[in-house]
Amino acid sequence: MRIRKYDFDYGRRELMKKVAVGAGAGVLAPLWPTIVKSADNISKAYPDELISIEVNTKGKVKVGDFITSANVEYVKHLMDPIMYQQVLKQGRKILIGPPTTDVTKLFPYAYLQATLRNAGKGAFDATGNVVDKTTGGPWIGGNPFPDMKTGEEATANITLSWGRHDVSQYAVRDFDINPDGSPAYTYDFYWTELNTTARTGKVPVFQDKKDMLRYQSVFFTAPQEQAGASFLVPWFYDQRKFPDIYGYLPQFRRIRQFPANQRFEPLVPGITLFLSDAWGAGDPMLTWGNYKVVRREPHLVPLNGNWKGKEHPNWENHHRHGGPKGETFMDTTMELVPECLVVEAEPTGYPRAPVGKKVMWIDARTSMLAGYVTYDRRGQIWKQVEGAFGQQVQGDVSNNDSTGHPNWSWTFVHIQDVQSGRMSLLNHVKQISGGYSSRYEVPDEGVVYDKFLTQAAIARLGTV
Amino acid sequence: MKRVKQRICGASMSLAGVLCISPAFAGGGAGFQIFGGDVTYNGFIRQEDAINTSGVAQQANQFGDPENGRPINRVAGDPFTGYKTSLGLGLPANIGGIPLPTLLPPTPGVSNLNLIGTSDTMTRFIPKRDPEMNYHILRFELSNSISWGSFSIQSRLRVVGDPGGLGYRDFDAREYANIGAGNIPGGPPRQFGSTPDYFGYSVDGKQNPLLFERSGRNYQVDFPALFAQWTNGNVTVRAGNQSVAWGQLLFFRIMDTANGLDLRRHLILGRALEEYADSRESAPGLRLTWQATDTISVDTFAQQFIPTILTNINTPYNIIPSQFTLHDRYWQDGGYRKVNYGIRIRDELGNYNWQAMFTRRYNQLGAIRWTKSLVNTPLPNSNVLGAAFNKYCELALGSPLGQGCGPQLAQSPLQASSTGLQTAEEWFNAASYIKLDGLGGLNKAVDDFPASQQVLGQDIGRDPVAAGNELDAFFMASEGLRGHIERKYFQENVIGLGGGYVTEGEPGSLWDQLIINVEATYTPHRTYTSVDLGHDFTKQNEVQIGLVMEKYQRFFESIPATYMVFQALHQRSSDLAGLLLKGYGSENYSATGVKLNANVPVSTNPKIVPGIHGGANYIVLAALQPTDAYIFEFSAAALIDVQGGVLFQPALQWKPRGNMTVNAFYNYVNGHAFNGNANKNLMSILEDDDEFNVRLSYQF
């Protein structure tokens, strides 16, 4: 531990000042130049109380401790309101892990390289869309605003590349929990996203689709009632436009178009996930508005240390606890993130959306979602989406990409609807029924497009 | 670091080398490998029950025949006056209430018989028996796929069982075998010879005509899907048993021309929001789908022709009057060797879409006409007229001694049978119910069959009184006449165009994100059942135009959006069931004012097949309201025949757990909601199908 040169609240005071003046991240030093200079250690940018949980809590909580209802008061200021209640009232326990000061472990390798390569080239055009200001064309990969200062910049960093791979295919096993804590539903689904622009690879625009941002589809493989239900959502690059939604529903045996603004509905019974919830930025960013950074603050975030590839062959997290029947929460490791932008936004493009406001905690180092809470139209707190992001490493086992670097992706997601008491536990697994496997790079993206991202594809994947 | 290599299969040379199972990946539908292919399966078991709340059996069935238990006077007509007068000769049946002697004693159901047996009162001896249940089946379905990259084999197995009884009122033809001429059916024995054949599909000449189905009286086992699939980029080929669904309209099958329907299980009365998921018939064939561009997709198919499978007689939802024997010529005419094929092109252009299709097919509905019964059974000699006719046939027409009029009837579309029609009133009511011409049908049964004329059948023109006299004469002589009809299939071209638009209005308003689709098809020279069942089928051009408007609207912040559908369909020549509109609107005939259908006018000079002009028009209104997390879904759907009929279905779906689903819905049918005459709308055919349905599903 370094010798503390500043008083205990120095860091938090400085963060609040930055909000007032709209400055970039970092307290002791600007964060982004620090990352550019030494991405493997960004601790120089922050005082101790923003790096060390022990300092932050005046010794009450240390790495390796569990946060329980007995000591949650010491970290209440590091939690979103729902996480706090989960620990205080619902028996949730959180293991505190060591802080990650090596930023290279918080990105996919190629994405960080693109962010470094393209730093300074991102800008908003007159329509509010992100462009490469050197060409005026669509974004060219990585975070367009690595030193984000506004809510729009932070949200753009997430929206333009959700999974931070040019192509991602997630095998997802979802366990939904009833309000009484009992298991309710289990779904297997396969989520595919393919960026056509804002890409990190050698091909800057996929199949010359400059007007599109991505193609995304989800199809269910189990259980029987939902198996074969599939949805295709092509996203326009213009973030003012609603994506089309096409669905293949088992009962109709054919593709039907759905209204583009129905993004606040569960896809299947019992699940608390809406399309709008994806990465906290599930809708085109300009269909939301009134973005503002309301705070900058440290936050407890599940990052590395949550992947279960060593202990479970299918990467599933079966360690549960809490809730009425001890099944509501997956065991989670969290760490102190020194600086998060707390960004609020309102669904200005959806007058009838049930959501009145969303609050995103966005990691200042990576611009990745670190916490997400929604409020209903009455201003009552509604849902929490808590995604764990990190490298696919557990102990001496890792799942590496073709360059030999550990793959980075999301690991699991808790989505709790506190008004209904329902919880969805999404596991990013190795494989789901049907042999669909998670992957983040493919030999031929065109094959993925043809196989998963066209209307013919979702019809083929549908119920027979 | 070490790269994780999780091997699903070991490199064993044992059986595991070709068949290995990794339970670690099982769950929620399970997955494992066989022969190196990824296997997935899932399925469900479902109990499906429908409680009859109409209190009556389907009117087309023997136990639901409205004539059952109704005394109806019959007077035989005089063939020598063209049946314009009766043969009653004014002879009374009784004097002062005391029955007079008769030449032969009354046969079952007959009273007030006059001396020479030419007038009487018939009370149909088959009782009216009302079921408590319309439907109770246990269903098992298993979907399975095994895939090796771009090649896969996919299947869906369906097993359905119904033990019969348990609240049904099963008619058994054998109980009436010793009455009159008995009940030699002339059709497939399983369908016509005894108790109802709930699931069997047999046609004349073939017991199980479908390659992928085996069915019997109480079971059905089939593969609605069993095909190999190969994908190469933007092209997908499927070879095997499969179904093809085209078009945007729900319930209204305008472009959905590739496959017929299997109506055996629950007719069209299943959960409305499932559309035809269970009833769309699959067929062996080849399907090729090509995603030509990002927006244009091309879909083609070539499949074996398989007809729409109708309900069997006396099953709970039967719509074909059970006094008729249907001879399905699918096999005998080589229909199983025919191929249907078609192509559809669809283009999505942002808020717009268009599609065009062409199908050359054998119309799965087919067309029906009179056919020779080929049943050589003499008229019963237990009544005077029957004995007289038999003697006439033997002496004048040369029938072998003892065979009476059997040889002639065998060459006519009629057969003496205790389960046949008994009165003129019953004849006219059955004809009008099924949208046929009671007068024309009688004439064609005579004109198209010389043997009918030999036994003194005559064309009575459009004179209902003469028709009544003629019919009663033959019904009295036969002690029940079964009609024999045949179903044949004809090729046609269906040409279709469609377009769609998604509106952009004030965000959140009713006019925003309204999905509108219009589809139209034109079928030149479609072959229909003639309303008189004549030998020459009716050929007419058909035009179908449909509109569907769909809207998801959030009315409440706390519960998910409401899904609403409005649909309208116009058909120029025929109704939803493929029946010609010119057969609509008949009134019933009765010499004595007997009203077998309370919702159909009756007189001695009824309007027969006035038809409806300007086409048939239908409207669908439906809405679905899920609750939070979709645990409950409330829905309601109404099919309105603007000529006066309504089918309304409120429904509830409850998902108490992931593997359990409970469905409850009620089918309310009103075939006389407005417009005076129930025969002016299609719903009257389903009038007796009010029922409360419950389905309990366990899925895995």
- As for the ipTM of the complex, it is 0.85
Q: What would the pLDDT profile of A9-60 be if each residue is shown by its tens digit? A: 787 888 888 777 778 888 888 888 888 888 788 888 998 889 999 999 999 9
Distance CA B382, CA B416 (A): 13
Amino acid A251: pLDDT = 76
Residue indicated by tokens 């399309």: A275
Q: Please give the mean pLDDT across all residues of chain A.
A: 92
Amino acid B349: pLDDT = 85
Residue B305 structure tokens: 């022709």
Residue B252 in contact with partner chain A when CB distance is under 8 A: no
3-state secondary structure of B602: strand
3-state secondary structure of B23: helix
Contacts (Cβ under 8 Å, ≥6 apart) of B161: B137, B138, B139, B218, B219, B220
**Helices B424-433 and B438-447, axial angle in degrees (round to 10):** 110
Contacts (Cβ under 8 Å, ≥6 apart) of B388: B477
* Mean pLDDT along residues A406-415: 96
Percentage of chain B lying above the pLDDT 70 cut:
93
Residues of B in contact with A457 (CB under 8 A): 291
* Mean pLDDT along residues B177-183: 83
Residue indicated by tokens 């096409």: A246
Give the one of A188, A398, A447 whose C-beta lies nearest to B29's C-beta. A188
Residues of B in contact with A208 (CB under 8 A): none
Chain B window 482-511: which residues touch A at a Cβ cutoff of 8 Å? Answer: 500, 502, 507-508
Contacts (Cβ under 8 Å, ≥6 apart) of A176: A183, A184, A185, A186, A187, A270, A271, A272, A422, A423, A424, A425, B658
Distance CA B96, CA B572 (A): 58
Q: Please give the mean pLDDT across all residues of chain B.
A: 90
Residue A274 structure tokens: 């809406």
Return the H-helix or E-strand segment holding A359.
Answer: strand A355-363
Among A352, A392, A400, A415, the residue to mutate for chain B (most B Cβ within 10 A): A352
Residue indicated by tokens 């939690």: A79
Number of Cβ atoms within 10 Å of the Cβ of B149: 13
Q: How far is CA B141 from CA A98, B217, B629, in A?
A: 51, 19, 26
Residues of A in contact with B353 (CB under 8 A): 257
Chain B window 352-371: which residues touch A at a Cβ cutoff of 8 Å? Answer: 353
Residues of B in contact with A266 (CB under 8 A): 560, 629-630
Q: What would the pLDDT profile of B653-676 be if each residue is shown by its tens digit? A: 998 887 899 999 999 999 999 988
Residue A394 structure tokens: 């557990």
Give the length of chain B: 700
Interchain CB distance below 8 Å, B1 and A406: yes
Chain B window 284-323: which residues touch A at a Cβ cutoff of 8 Å? Answer: 289-291, 294, 297
Amino acid A152: pLDDT = 97
Band of the pLDDT at B264, cuts 50, 70, 90?
very high
Distance CA B454, CA B471 (A): 16
Residue B686 structure tokens: 């389903």
* Best CA proximity match to B318, nearest among B531, B479, B159, B168: B168
Distance CA A415, CA A384 (A): 6
Residue A115 structure tokens: 């962010």
Q: What would the pLDDT profile of A64-104 be if each residue is shown by its tens digit? A: 999 999 999 999 999 999 999 999 999 999 999 999 989 99
Interchain CB distance below 8 Å, B33 and A435: yes
* Mean pLDDT along residues B301-319: 96
Among B20, B39, B42, the residue to mutate for chain A (most A Cβ within 10 A): B42
Q: Which domains does chain B have, with CATH numbers?
A: 1-35 (no CATH), 41-63+131-370+487-699 (2.40.160.10), 71-123 (no CATH)
Interchain CB distance below 8 Å, B3 and A173: no
Amino acid A228: pLDDT = 82
pLDDT of B8 > 80? The answer is: no
Q: What is the DSSP letter of B384?
A: H
Residue B630 in contact with partner chain A when CB distance is under 8 A: yes
* Mean pLDDT along residues A149-167: 96
Q: How far is A71 from chain B (nearest CA, A)?
A: 33
Residue B33 structure tokens: 């490998």
Q: How far is A297 from chain B (nearest CA, A)?
A: 32
Q: What would the pLDDT profile of A291-326 be if each residue is shown by its tens digit? A: 999 999 999 999 999 999 999 999 999 899 999 999
Residue B698 in contact with partner chain A when CB distance is under 8 A: no
Amino acid B628: pLDDT = 82
* Best CA proximity match to B669, nearest among B638, B655, B648: B648
Amino acid A120: pLDDT = 93
pLDDT of B246 > 60? The answer is: yes
Residue B2's closest chain A neighbor by CA? A397
Band of the pLDDT at B13, cuts 50, 70, 90?
very low
Amino acid A460: pLDDT = 86
CA atoms within 13 A on the CB side of A182: 5
Interchain CB distance below 8 Å, B502 and A257: yes
Residues of A in contact with B44 (CB under 8 A): 224-225
Q: Going by DSSP bridges, is the β-strand pair B602-603/B588-589 parallel, antiparallel, or unpaired?
A: parallel
* Mean pLDDT along residues A237-261: 87
Percentage of chain A lying above the pLDDT 90 cut:
75
pTM score above 0.95: no
CB B622 within 8 A of CB B272: yes
Residue B7 in contact with partner chain A when CB distance is under 8 A: no
Band of the pLDDT at B11, cuts 50, 70, 90?
very low
Q: What is the DSSP string of B28-97?
A: TT-EEEETTEEEEEEEEEEEEEEEE-SSS--TTSGGG-TTTT-EEEEE-B-GGGTTSSBS-TT--SEETT
Q: Which domains does chain A have, with CATH numbers?
A: 9-464 (2.50.20.10)
